[in-house]
Structure 1
Amino acid sequence: MPAPERIPSRSLTDTELVTVLAEGRLTVLGQVRGASNAVLCCTVAHDGDEVTCVYKPVAGERPLWDFPDGTLARREVAAYEISEVTGWGLIPPTVLRDGPYGEGMCQLWIEAAPQDDESSPDGLPPLLALVDDEEPAEGWKAVALAEVGEGRTALLVHADDPRLRRLAVLDAVINNGDRKGGHLLPAPGGRLYGIDHGVTFNAEDKLRTLLWGWAGEPLTAEAVEVVDRLAAELAPGTSLVTRLAELITAAEIEALRGRVAGLKASGRHPEPSGEWPSIPWPPV
């Protein structure tokens, strides 16, 4: 379906947006085509405020061999909870709620700003690219060689962008198994969001991402602070752990603690393990 019209509304804080998403009246506008699971575009109205959102009912989730059935919506909410602890605001406000098709994830709709190779006033510079060079140009990080047809290969690169680097840290923490290019939403005003976090928090290493450009490099000072904060917030008995226990399993929470402890100990971005495909397919 085409992008919905932007709904005029007063400026809402993230806390207010969570209230609207969780308690408002949900009205389905249509289905977002091309998604592997049911994705519905909706409006949600509460006390005079109305926003556009994405609603993913559990009933529309396709079974996966490596994740328990009916858990993807809760994993998306858990990812939002972790994102909020980082203070980076990388995931749009997300809640778990009942809707017209039963329980599901409800997330604020983000209208992505256009990207333009020439960085024109109407667009933003791209975050990902395929180049014919053997090495990335200044301002870019290499990911991997990719086949582009007719026996040709090109170098997949991503921007050396601090917003992407924060997202790479978040993905390592939540064990994101599907960080594709289409899951990156640069918003007007310079903010970057990540979406589609259903295949996260597996107790086994599942990290698959297009953001390997910093693999093995030291974490930034701000990332070290975030990792320390996460370690403290994930201690047994905290309010964060109580909320996560309603969304993911005890084994997955323990694995989450282990990943944070590993990042804290190494002080570096993780590298591909070699035991699991490191690049999602298709990459977009």
Structure 2
Amino acid sequence: MQPTDPGAVELITGGRIDVEGRLVDASNATLFCGISAAGVEAKCVYKPVSGERALWDFPDGTLAGREVATYLLSEAAGLHLVPPTVYRDGPFGPGMVQLWVDTKEGDDLVDVVAPREVPDGWRRVLRAMDRFGDPAILTHSDHPSVCLLAALDIVINNADRKGGHVLHGTDDRVYGVDHGICLHTEPKLRTVLWGFVGEAMPDEAMEAFRTLRSCLAGGLSGQLAEHLTRAEVRAVGRRLDALLRDPVFPAPSEDWRAIPWPAF
């Protein structure tokens, strides 16, 4: 099943979850599961609230809700950059359930390579040295949907956009995952997708953000309020207003570390 399939949301909302394993590289409990209903089967990620690790700047028990809120924002904007994501009960209590995205093998959208190996058109983010002392470049694709994801990250104030969170699906679409550390009221943008700094936002992003601003004035704010504080919902509106006034990709702030660590 692909994230854009019509029955995806219904399946992850009401399907039976069977835990098959754990993604051990994740900092919070992240379980790989099968999910099934009425003869339809797929894979999903289940993150129970009981497995969240406490963070000093994000209240306990809120990470799953932030993942769902990010999905709601992406859908309301018409961007469809986040796989179907819901908040529901599961084998270890309530948490976030998200449809698994099958990816194109060997087709990463973010990479660290030698300077001469940067693919044509890719954006250079950071110059560094590898473990052998040789020069290396953190770089990412210039795919239009990567640009849209970088724009969405500004709206959701993503504090943890690692390279491994940018997926190139087998359906040839780009998806962002792992949005638990987002939507804080204070500026915290931390991402590997800095390659568009200073450029004008694409028209598709601006149209999406105008749509999203209208949705916030309607029923979307109530949906978000199930997962975020009122202050956090208002902060989304302020970030949108700022982008609509000045539709340019911002530069990293000097007030906090601009790239998550590890970067992948």
Encode CA deviations 1:54-84: one digit per residue, 9 max, x unaligned. 1100000000111001100000000100111
TM-score, scaled to structure 2: 0.94
Aligned partner of 1:268 in structure 2 is 248
- Which structure would you say has the larger Rg? 1
Aligned partner of 2:172 in structure 1 is 190
User: Equivalents in 2 of 1:241, 1:167: separation in Å?
Assistant: 21
1:91/1:193 contact within 8 Å kept:
yes
User: Equivalents in 1 of 2:4, 2:196: separation in Å?
Assistant: 32
Q: What SS does structure 1 have at the residue aligned with 2:245?
A: helix
Q: Which amino acid aligns with 1:256?
A: V
Gaps of at least 5 residues in structure 2 are none
- Check if 1:156 corresponds to 2:138: yes
Q: What SS does structure 2 have at the residue aligned with 1:45?
A: strand
Q: What SS does structure 1 have at the residue aligned with 2:241?
A: helix
User: Equivalents in 2 of 1:201, 1:244: separation in Å?
Assistant: 11
RCO comparison, higher one (Cα < 8 Å, 6+)? 2
- Check if 1:37 corresponds to 2:28: yes
> Does the C-alpha gap of structure 1 residues 132 and 52 become closer, same or farther in structure 2, counting only changes over 3 Å?
closer
2:3/2:83 contact within 8 Å kept:
no
Q: What is the identity percentage for the equivalent residue pairs of Structure 1 and Structure 2?
A: 47
Encode CA deviations 1:12-43: one digit per residue, 9 max, x unaligned. 86452111111122111121222111111112
> Does the C-alpha gap of structure 1 residues 278 and 135 become closer, same or farther in structure 2, counting only changes over 3 Å?
farther
Give matches, 1:108-119, under 5 Å: 108-115=99-106
TM-superposed deviation, 1:133? 3.4
Query: Once structures 1 and 2 are overlaid, which stretch shifts more, 168-177 or 28-37?
Result: 28-37
Q: What SS does structure 2 have at the residue aligned with 1:99?
A: coil
- Check if 1:72 corresponds to 2:63: yes
Encode CA deviations 1:138-186: one digit per residue, 9 max, x unaligned. 4011211223135444222112111110100111110111111111111
2:115/2:135 contact within 8 Å kept:
no
- Check if 1:277 corresponds to 2:257: yes
Cα root mean square deviation, aligned: 1.9
User: Equivalents in 2 of 1:43, 1:14: separation in Å?
Assistant: 17
> Does the C-alpha gap of structure 1 residues 135 and 187 become closer, same or farther in structure 2, counting only changes over 3 Å?
closer
Gaps of at least 5 residues in structure 1 are 1-8, 116-123
Q: Which amino acid aligns with 1:251?
A: A
1:135/1:142 contact within 8 Å kept:
no
Aligned partner of 1:254 in structure 2 is 234
Aligned partner of 1:144 in structure 2 is 126
TM-score, scaled to structure 1: 0.88
